[in-house]
Structure 1
Amino acid sequence: MTHARWHATDTLAARYADGTLAESEAWSLEKHLEHCTSCATRVSHAVRAGTAGAVLGEVREAVLREALLQEALLQELGSRSGVPGAGRFPRLARALWAAGPAVRGAWSLAVLVVALGAVALGYGAGVAGVAGARPLLLALAPVVPVLGVALSYGPHADPVHEIAAASPSGGLRLLLTRTVAVLLVSLPLLTLAGLLLPGSGAPGAAAWLLPGLALTLASLALAGYVGSRAGAAVTCGGWLCAVLAPALTSPSDGAPLARLAEQLSAVLDGPLAQGAWAASAVLCAAALAARRAVYDRLP
């Protein structure tokens, strides 16, 4: 039977709303609702009129109260700052707050700790600190956005994940929105920390940016096959093994931090290395675009 030859009756909608409809009939009705606006409206009215309607109303009121409270607080912060153009800050803060759970969770604090820890190591640990702070930061920086993205998407990170993923902005679009939010927080902080570190030489403080972008896109591409957390784990583990294993197992003379700096220079410094990372980012982006439908049901 095609979708156009039948429509849900009021009785059928009421049985679906109160949960007494047989599972096979419920599946058939849900499939029909994907193509029939009038039946979807009828079922929506039935759900609101039933016992679930009161619960949904309470949830809606609670969400609206919380949103209004956050908006009022951010507007008050903007008005108290006295800085011209400060009114734009609440809008940006609201966008970041809504875009990714990791941005408003412990991950942002972890990024700040990594950045401040690198600067403290560079200035407070003597000559060894000066020599070792930048390699350690460059070794960790590319995987920080990867971890942030993994903590921003999925039922483990977002209590309303199912609702958000089922919305018109769900799927790959939502995942990319939260990825941008993570990058907007991590890239400036970690790059500024690298610029503040004493000393100079290759690789530079911004040498990790393209690798970080490529690894982030690679984790998103892998997420389409194994899920966001597993994709992030594989990407982070591969990167850390690639840069740490040669530094720790090399038979050559020199401290591990010096060998780590040499390994990072080999994989980050120069047009050839950066070009390879740029090409990798493009390939991963193409893989995302080619399999974008998969992300509508990303585990």
Structure 2
Amino acid sequence: MSWHADDGDLREYAHGTLAAPRLWSVETHLAACADCRAALSAHVPPAEISAGWARLDAALDAPRPGPVESLLVRLGVADHTARLLAATPVLRRSWLGAVVLTLLLAVGVGVAASPLLLLATAPLLPLAGVAVSFGPALDPTYETAVVAPMHTFRLLMVRTVAVLATTTALSALASLALPSFGLAALGWLLPALALTSTGVALTARLGPVLAPVLVGTGWTALVVLSRLLASG
């Protein structure tokens, strides 16, 4: 190769047809020669240059998926939904709270003589998780979520499914760890689904905090009343 890259080599390089080892020589020379870079631009259509810059900008601005987002994508969750879930810190706190409460429930039921503690408290876990995962008072990304190109109720449903799946799986594991109670240890499942569905349905009218609080209070009162009637 001469002092400057050959015009034919530049043309082939621009079209992507230049083969090694000339390709390596031209690339090395272009990195240090402004004149050859200017000559190279004459062989590339302006539209292709603009498209290349656009692809570069998109690649630089694209967020890098974290471990939680990558795991959700591997499990079959859509990219945008996985990013929405992974970018919400209140969801992670609700999952952590579910882990702690489930462990406490398992210990408490193991000590008690009946699964009443698990049956009464486990249905409240997903309801509480939904309550702390959405709303202006608790969610630091609430303003961003409101103006996002996604309906607010759909966003609430996405987070509800995430919380419900996590808490249900953890509570199920706690139930399986109590084989002495048999199928009675799984009696919390239908109440959990009913309480969560009722709370989500009332959120549109009562708000994301008041609705779960009222539903949870009603469930607690019902459990206490039934316990009093059974003992009296």
TM-score range, shorter chain: 0.5 to 0.7
Alignment RMSD:
3.1
1:215 is matched with 195
Per-residue deviation, residues 28-79 of structure 1 (Å, max 9, x unmatched): xxxxxxxxxxxxxxxxxxxxxxxxxxxxxxxxxxxx69x42xx25569x97x
TM-aligned CA distance change 1:91 to 1:217, over 3 Å: closer
Alignment map for 1:1-299 (pairs within 5 Å): 67-68=63-64, 71=65, 73=67, 88=74, 94-95=82-83, 97-98=85-86, 100-105=88-93, 107-123=94-110, 125=111, 129=112, 131-132=113-114, 134-201=115-182, 204-248=184-228, 252=232
What is the CA–CA distance in structure 2 between the aligned matches of 1:238 and 1:172, rounded to whole Å?
24
Confirm or deny: 8 A CA contact 2:108 2:117 kept in the other structure: no
Confirm or deny: 8 A CA contact 2:85 2:159 kept in the other structure: no
Q: 1:222: Cα distance to partner? A: 1.6
Amino acid at match of 1:153: F
What is the CA–CA distance in structure 1 between the aligned matches of 2:134 and 2:96, rounded to whole Å?
18
Question: More displaced, 113-122 or 191-200?
Answer: 113-122
Q: 1:97: Cα distance to partner? A: 3.7
Per-residue deviation, residues 123-182 of structure 1 (Å, max 9, x unmatched): 4x3xxx2x23x2101101111111111111111222221221222213111110110110
Amino acid at match of 1:180: V
Confirm or deny: 8 A CA contact 1:165 1:174 kept in the other structure: no
Amino acid at match of 1:98: A
What is the aligned-residue identity percentage? 35
Q: Secondary structure at the match of 2:138?
A: coil
What is the CA–CA distance in structure 1 between the aligned matches of 2:124 and 2:84, rounded to whole Å?
20
Larger radius of gyration: 2
Per-residue deviation, residues 227-276 of structure 1 (Å, max 9, x unmatched): 11000110000001001233246553xxxxxxxxxxxxxxxxxxxxxxxx
What is the CA–CA distance in structure 2 between the aligned matches of 1:144 and 1:74, rounded to whole Å?
21
What is the CA–CA distance in structure 1 between the aligned matches of 2:180 and 2:139, rounded to whole Å?
41
Q: Secondary structure at the match of 2:186?
A: coil
What is the CA–CA distance in structure 1 between the aligned matches of 2:205 and 2:125, rounded to whole Å?
21
Confirm or deny: 8 A CA contact 2:132 2:138 kept in the other structure: yes
Confirm or deny: 8 A CA contact 1:102 1:149 kept in the other structure: no
Confirm or deny: 8 A CA contact 1:111 1:186 kept in the other structure: yes
Amino acid at match of 2:156: L
**Structure 2: gaps spanning 5 or more residues:** 1-60
Per-residue deviation, residues 176-207 of structure 1 (Å, max 9, x unmatched): 011011012101000110111141256x2332
What is the CA–CA distance in structure 2 between the aligned matches of 1:74 and 1:144, rounded to whole Å?
21
What is the CA–CA distance in structure 2 between the aligned matches of 1:161 and 1:213, rounded to whole Å?
25
TM-aligned CA distance change 1:72 to 1:232, over 3 Å: closer
Q: Secondary structure at the match of 2:187?
A: coil
